[in-house]
Amino acid sequence: MSTPSLQSFNTFGLVVEAEELVSIASTDDLKKLHDSQAWAQRQLHILGGGSNVLLTQNLSGLVLLNRIQGKKEVYRDEQVVHIEFGGGEIWHEAVTWAVAQGFGGLENMSLIPGTVGAAPIQNIGAYGVELKDRFVYLDAFDLDSGETRRFLKNECEFGYRDSIFKSWAKGRFFITQVCLELQLHPEVNLRYGDISGVLEQWGIAHPSIADVSRAVIHIRQSKLPDPAVLGNCGSFFKNPVIPETQFEELKARYPEAKSFPAGEGYIKVPAGWLIEHAGWKGHRAGAVGVHEKQALVLVNYGGAKGSEVLQLARDIQADILDRYGIALEMEVNAW
Ligand code: EPU
């Protein structure tokens, strides 16, 4: 049991308090706690890296910090290796470790904030690769029953920044281990334009996974604010997916509108483009604002309240709906 302030446990840097904070280092810790008085009838909240939550109020009950460490090889053949990572491992450290071993597949997701255990919840992704592309299974502790359960890939119902852990299974499972499949003879993925552009600038014609990781880190650092310096939660909204017919109307009004294919008949429109185009980039309201280099990122300039961030988000959502007829959905979870 430790200090109840959550300021250093959420990357927005919001000042909120927990009634009680417990660091969990193993499944055994969870089992013991589950059987104890401290657990009984209490509200439970699970925090990983705190990089995808917007804390709008003090949290009553128990806040469980996922600090389960470990990396274990559980399978290997000629082509791939399966590594089981502890849910509390820092995601970027897991990526760096994999790159150092020469295991491919995670390098495009370098420098994403948060923990390994939180990664499947919103199916994190960047630069053309999503967690689901590398996922084998996860083990989770059922907070109700106290049983441990394995979820295979198809059971997680991964979608764009989505899984069952954002719907029926939300808040119910503590993710203790995540098993990922990595390549022993990596093929780099340069499909996302920015990466090949940077490598070309650096004069690297045959990039290794370490080169790709460095390029991704370079791109992210050039436009995404470092949460240690400026509180934020990365992309605040999801990129909306709209019917092709609606996109054609948008394109007729704004020929410069950006887009990505999103499956038969659908188009993904970068929310960052919509928000910037609506004039919000660099906008500041008191202690909160829209980042000046990436309009999809809301920031805390210091001393902001969660409710102020939420109000700014609602103002942006209302304006985008009004201007473009597009509803922006939050990627970040408001508590
Ligand atoms: N854009 C603008 N203005 C902006 C921001 C973006 O016009 O202020 C345009 C860019 O010029 C580009 C397009 O929007 O043409 C896409 O921008 P970017 O490559 O920066 O990616 P994004 O769609 O804004 C998504 C993910 C990021 C991920 C990047 C790279 C979501 C919600 N976000 O952002 O993930 O790093 O692609 O793959 O899907 C996160 O989830 O927290 C996150 C940072």
Q: Which residue has the higher pLDDT, 176 or 2?
A: 176
Predicted pLDDT of residue 15? 95
Predicted pLDDT of residue 38? 82
Mean pLDDT to the nearest integer, 32-44: 88
Please choose, from the candidates 213, 269, 277, 279, the residue with its C-alpha nearest in 3D space to the C-alpha of residue 239.
269
Pair of tokens at residue 177: 């281990």
Q: Is the CB of 276 under 6 A from ligand 1?
A: yes
Q: Work out the pLDDT band at 3, boundaries 50, 70, 90.
A: low
Q: Could you tell me the distance, in angstroms and rounded to a whole number, from the CA of residue 267 to the centre of ligand 1? A: 15
Residue 124 alpha carbon, nearest atom of ligand 1: 41
Q: Could you tell me the distance, in angstroms and rounded to a whole number, from the CA of residue 220 to the centre of ligand 1? A: 10
Backbone angles phi, psi at 200, to 5 degrees: -60, -45
Predicted pLDDT of residue 139? 98
From the list 134, 161, 214, 220, the catalytic residue is: 161
Residue 52 alpha carbon, nearest atom of ligand 1: 42
Predicted pLDDT of residue 193? 75
Backbone angles phi, psi at 24, to 5 degrees: -105, 120
Q: Work out the pLDDT band at 42, boundaries 50, 70, 90.
A: confident
The total of other beta-carbon atoms located within 10 Å of residue 5's CB is 12
Backbone angles phi, psi at 39, to 5 degrees: -85, -40
Percentage, residues of the chain above pLDDT 70: 99
Q: Work out the pLDDT band at 200, boundaries 50, 70, 90.
A: very high
Please state whether beta strands 59-66 and 44-47 pair in parallel, antiparallel, or not at all (unpaired): parallel
Residue with tokens 């995404």, as numbered in its chain: 224
Asked if pLDDT for residue 47 goes beyond 60, the answer is: yes
Q: Could you tell me the distance, in angstroms and rounded to a whole number, from the CA of residue 329 to the centre of ligand 1? A: 15
Predicted pLDDT of residue 135? 98
Asked if pLDDT for residue 99 goes beyond 90, the answer is: yes
Mean pLDDT to the nearest integer, 225-253: 96
Mean pLDDT to the nearest integer, 138-166: 97
161: annotated active-site residue: yes
Q: Is the CB of 34 under 6 A from ligand 1?
A: no
Q: What is the mean pLDDT of the chain?
A: 95
Per the CB < 8 A criterion, the answer to whether 280 and 289 are in contact is no
Domains located in the chain, CATH noted: 7-66 (3.30.43.10), 71-183 (3.30.465.10), 231-334 (3.90.78.10)
Please tell me the residue having the least CA distance from ligand 1 atom 22: 270
Q: Is the CB of 162 under 6 A from ligand 1?
A: no
Predicted pLDDT of residue 185? 98
pTM for the full model? 0.93
Distance CA 117, CA 234 (A): 17
Q: Could you tell me the distance, in angstroms and rounded to a whole number, from the CA of residue 272 to the centre of ligand 1? A: 6
Mean pLDDT to the nearest integer, 191-214: 95
For residues 64, 152, 167, 122, the Cα torsion angle rounded to the nearest 10 degrees is: 70
329: annotated active-site residue: no
Please tell me the residue having the least CA distance from ligand 1 atom 32: 238
From the list 107, 130, 308, 331, the catalytic residue is: 331
Distance CA 331, CA 319 (A): 18
Distance CA 324, CA 155 (A): 35
Asked if pLDDT for residue 129 goes beyond 90, the answer is: yes
Mean pLDDT to the nearest integer, 242-253: 96
Asked if pLDDT for residue 1 goes beyond 60, the answer is: no
Give 131-198 as a 3 state SS string: HHHCEEEEEEEECCCCCEEEEEHHHHCCECCECHHHCCCCCCEEEEEEEEEEECCCCCCCCCHHHHHH
8: annotated active-site residue: no
Q: Could you tell me the distance, in angstroms and rounded to a whole number, from the CA of residue 294 to the centre of ligand 1? A: 7
